[in-house]
Amino acid sequence: MTDRYAVIGNPISHSKSPLIHAAFARQTGQDMRYDAILGPLDGFEACVRQFMREGGKGMNVTVPFKIQAFELADRLTERARHAQAVNTLKFEADGSILGDNTDGVGMVRDIRDRLGAPIAGRRVLLLGAGGAARGVLLPLLDEQPACLVIANRTPEKALELKALCEGRGEVGVARFDELGSQAFDLVINATSASLGGEGLSLPAGTYDAGALAYDMVYGDRPTPFMQRAAEQGAARVADGLGMLVGQAAESFHLWRGVRPETEPVIAMLRKR
């Protein structure tokens, strides 16, 4: 019997998840079906439980339901608890729901494994202190960077994130204009600036020789952040398409127990 999975969000027609998981299923020989579900803004839980009753095995969760998914889950992985948001639900045989957040580990695997940019022992700058930054913070610290600095326009939210990381590693906080001449090996844009067509102007010297500038946003051309980073001296730039596929691969592994290859799927999406 074909196992059923889905992504739920509102809006949802733009989602690439059905394409990605269909490619993963073909690649790994898994008998499964993956659909996109437009969740009602006032009926997320009812929609999830209906899918469960119909035999669904798991769901991905996207905007605006990640907080509701966090609250719905009976059990949470450590990374979901730290992110305070859930993007993957696994429906267990006993009827309980496991909530996970695969965004951070998807990004880390993309940077470390696919792009070949080590994080361990390197200086990392994380731009932004909202939900996107919170979702990737713990997986980044698990890589044991030499230091991690959270930069935000205002320090209050960045200080809140730092407090969550007590005992995890060296975490600094700064406003964008306070970075000075400190140089980094990896600069990650977790702000929404690129979505608004804006670049981020960082102080001269932010990018060390060989630095990677990584935008969590993706598109069919280099994002404004990537363009500005290249102008300011970043040796390499990358968008977040690999993160999108990487977090999907982590969800797939949680559900099916097999880890698909991401590179062929990224190449397929680029062609489209």
Domain 117-239 has CATH 3.10.20.30: no
**What is the reported pLDDT for 90?**
98
Q: What is the DSSP string of 157-191?
A: HHHHHHHHTTTTS-EEEEEGGG-TT--EEEEEE-S
**What is the reported pLDDT for 84?**
92
Q: Indicate the pLDDT class of residue 228, thresholds 50, 70 and 90.
A: very high
Q: Do domains 3-101+243-271 and 117-239 have the same CATH topology?
A: yes
**What is the reported pLDDT for 195?**
67
pLDDT of residue 238 exceeding 70, the answer is: yes
For residue 126, the surrounding DSSP H or E stretch is strand 123-127
**249: number of Cβ within 10 Å:** 24
Residues with Cβ < 8 Å from 220, sequence gap 6 or more?
none
**What is the reported pLDDT for 210?**
95
pLDDT of residue 196 exceeding 80, the answer is: no
Mean pLDDT of 58-80: 97
**What is the reported pLDDT for 165?**
83
Beta bridge partners of 99: 76, 89
pLDDT of residue 183 exceeding 70, the answer is: yes
pLDDT of residue 53 exceeding 70, the answer is: yes
Q: Indicate the pLDDT class of residue 166, thresholds 50, 70 and 90.
A: confident
Write down the domain spans for the chain: 3-101+243-271, 117-239
- Options 57, 66, 90, 162, the catalytic residue: 66
pLDDT of residue 206 exceeding 80, the answer is: yes
**Block residue for tokens 């990381």:** 165
β-pairing verdict for 56-61 and 88-91:
antiparallel
- Per-residue model confidence as pLDDT tens digits over 14-47: 999 999 999 999 999 999 999 999 999 999 999 9
- The CATH T-level fold of domain 3-101+243-271 is Rossmann fold (3.40.50)
Range in 10-19, 67-76, 183-192, 193-202 the model is least confident about: 193-202
Mean pLDDT of 61-88: 96
Q: Indicate the pLDDT class of residue 8, thresholds 50, 70 and 90.
A: very high
The verdict on whether 66 is a catalytic residue reads yes
Q: Nearest Cα to 118, choosing from 136, 144, 149, 138? A: 144
Average pLDDT of the chain to the nearest whole number: 94
Mean pLDDT of 146-153: 94
Q: How far apart are CA 101 and CA 239, in angstroms?
A: 20
- 215 vs 202, higher pLDDT: 215
DSSP 237: E
- Per-residue model confidence as pLDDT tens digits over 114-138: 999 999 999 999 999 998 999 999 9
pTM as predicted? 0.94
**What is the reported pLDDT for 62?**
95
